[in-house]
Amino acid sequence: MNETKLTAAAVYRNGCIAKRSGKVYLQKGAQTVRLEGLTNGVDESTLRLAVPAGVSGSNVQVEHPTREQQTEALKELAQKVADVQNKIASQEKMAALWEANADFSQKESLSVGEMSAYLEKLPERLEAVAAAITALKEKKAKLDKEYAEAKKKAALPYVTAELNAPADGEYPVELTYRENQAWWNPVYEIHTGDGSDSLKLRMRAKICQRTGEDWAGAALTLYSGNPSVSGTIPEMDPLHLRIYEPWVYSKRRTAAFGGMMKSAARMDEMVVEECEACADAEAPMMAMNAVYSGSGTATKGETMTEYALSGSWDIRTGQEIICDIKTDDLPCRYHVVAVPKLSDEAYLAAEVATSLLEEMQGTPAAVYLKGTFAGNVILEPDMTKDNYDLSLGVDETVKVKREQKKKYTSNVLLKGQKKTEYEYEITVSSRKDKEIPVTVSDQLPISDEKTIVIETLDISGAEKEEDTGFLHWNFKLAPGETKTVKLAWTVAWPKDKQTEEV
């Protein structure tokens, strides 16, 4: 039997690739070896065995011990536990016997001297027995713990392989496989400072492993994958108008049946590869139950980013740790954003180039304004746009109000149409002590049909997106200033029809 130790792990957002290292003594020629140390989460189809140049291998198998094999492996330890338990029982019987013999009511033949001598020695004898029992129980507790660990280990799978060595000697081997019970998630923090043109984006990693094995002195590499809270700036959808067609009930029904496809996963053959012996990591092991401040090296690949963490790492099974990955300074433009049609709140935002946030779709982040925690937001950059308003939370020093001033419907007799006129007034006021840039967004409906005519009456100089109907007002507010913009339009459609928003 040959033990292997986990020396490195490539951790993904879901699962990891574990690498185990060990040494085997081989005689010249062919032989079967057994490699131990696997966990119950091993994906057998991904197992690879690497051996040095000159050694050939075949028939690599993952084996699961039978109940008989497990019993045999535990036989010697189980006997030790039983022996200690018997000794404890024997000492307890002895103590009971010493105490029973102290009852002289049925022993009239004993002299007073004999009874006195017995009673004089009894405390010492009982004390010695109690000490022996205590020592035996401590020994049994250690054996019970050892037995429980050995029982768990005896049930674990192991690897067998046929290896052919060119000469007698000790050879390094490596096992790699996918392990499902380990993962990591990015943890983002947004920090604003005294500067007006940048923010700090701090990326950390929360790593968790529940493999059933403690990782000690392991080299870790993280790979990006996929990383949901209040304070997010609401976004509008385009508002289209079309002719409403009442639904007509029909007794005829049609049903479509979709076929279910089943895919059968083919288990790849386990292979033997040539490897180079790995050098032991020299960096000191870090303490557990800590937030690590170390950093790593980031490398962008074809489909994901790799973060190679410096040093070696200890992570107990079931434990979560947090480590620092990187901190970036992002150029930005701070402004206040309001979408009064959807929310009465105003939001402090930092306009950032979307290219800087490409890995953060749907990612939660904690916001710190000059070191003070301000809440959590979800980052959802639209990568089709150049810039993204990164929400820093609700700004209570800016108030916004959207008020409907008019909604009047009339008939246009000569054209056989109905016509509705809409008018809204949006008011924004600042209670800040400095000038601030503000962006207010609203929208005009979009006609999907020629018979629906939309006419813009007043948008107070807003920038309009023709394809979506979105409107944006960009202006600056002085301390204590209030600004009002107007939005008005008309909708005309055939009077014998109805319109609906979609």
Residue 414 sits at φ, ψ, to 5 deg, of -65, -25
Return d(Cα 402, Cα 346) in angstroms, integer: 12
Return d(Cα 280, Cα 241) in angstroms, integer: 69
Place of tokens 């809409």: 422
Residue 369 has pLDDT above 70, yes or no: yes
Residue 453 has pLDDT above 70, yes or no: yes
Residue 222 has pLDDT above 60, yes or no: yes
Return d(Cα 124, Cα 137) in angstroms, integer: 20
Query: Coil, helix or strand for 136?
Result: helix
Of 125 and 28, which is predicted with more confidence?
A: 28
Which has the minimum average pLDDT: 97-111, 152-166, 313-327?
Answer: 97-111
Residue 227 has pLDDT above 80, yes or no: no
Q: Burial letters for 216-255: b for 16+ Cβ neighbours within 10 Å, e otherwise?
A: ebbbbbbbbbebeeebbbeeeeeebbbeeeeeeeeeeeee
Condensed to tens digits (0 to 9), the pLDDT of residues 388-447 reads 999 888 999 999 999 999 999 998 877 889 999 999 999 999 999 999 999 999 999 999
Return d(Cα 332, Cα 352) in angstroms, integer: 5
What mean pLDDT is predicted for residues 215-236?
Answer: 73
Q: Burial letters for 176-215: b for 16+ Cβ neighbours within 10 Å, e otherwise?
A: bbbbebbbbbbbbebebeeeeebbebbbbbebbbbbebeb
What's the Rg (C-alpha) of the chain?
38
Return d(Cα 272, Cα 61) in angstroms, integer: 11
Quickly name the fold that domain 398-501 has: Immunoglobulin-like (2.60.40)
Residue 95 has pLDDT above 60, yes or no: yes
Neighbours of 172 (CB within 10 A): 16
Determine what percent of the chain falls in helix, strand and coil, rounding each to the nearest 5: 15, 50, 35
- For the record, the structure tokens of 410 come out as 């009339």
Rounded alpha-carbon distances, angstroms, from residue 69 to 66, 146, 374: 5, 18, 59
Return d(Cα 456, Cα 464) in angstroms, integer: 11
Domain boundaries, the chain: 68-154, 398-501
Residue 350 near residue 388, CB atoms below 8 Å: no
- For the record, the structure tokens of 308 come out as 């190679």
Which has the minimum average pLDDT: 37-41, 191-195, 482-486?
Answer: 191-195
pLDDT score recorded for residue 154? 82
Pairing of strands 333-338, 56-63: unpaired
Condensed to tens digits (0 to 9), the pLDDT of residues 274-283 reads 555 433 333 2
Which residues make Cβ contacts (< 8 Å) with residue 117, sequence separation at least 6? none
Residue 192 near residue 52, CB atoms below 8 Å: no
Question: Residue 59 — left, alpha, or beta (φ > 0 → left; ψ -120 to 50 → alpha)?
Answer: left
* Average pLDDT score, the chain: 84
- For the record, the structure tokens of 319 come out as 């434990």
| Structure-derived torsion over alpha carbons of residues 486, 490, 491, 496, reported in degrees to the nearest 10 | 140
Handedness of CA 236, 241, 246, 251 (dihedral sign): negative
Residue 317 near residue 223, CB atoms below 8 Å: no
Residue 50 near residue 173, CB atoms below 8 Å: yes
Rounded alpha-carbon distances, angstroms, from residue 396 to 280, 393, 400: 56, 9, 10
Condensed to tens digits (0 to 9), the pLDDT of residues 325-335 reads 889 899 999 99
Condensed to tens digits (0 to 9), the pLDDT of residues 41-58 reads 888 889 999 999 999 988
Instruction: With both helix axes pointing from N to C terminus, report the angle between 112-154 and 67-101 in degrees, rounded to the nearest 10.
Output: 170
What is the C-alpha end-to-end distance of the chain, expressed in Å?
Answer: 69
Of 56 and 293, which is predicted with more confidence?
A: 56
Of 219 and 124, which is predicted with more confidence?
A: 219
Residue 395 sits at φ, ψ, to 5 deg, of -100, 105
Residue 380 near residue 357, CB atoms below 8 Å: no
Residue 132 sits at φ, ψ, to 5 deg, of -65, -40
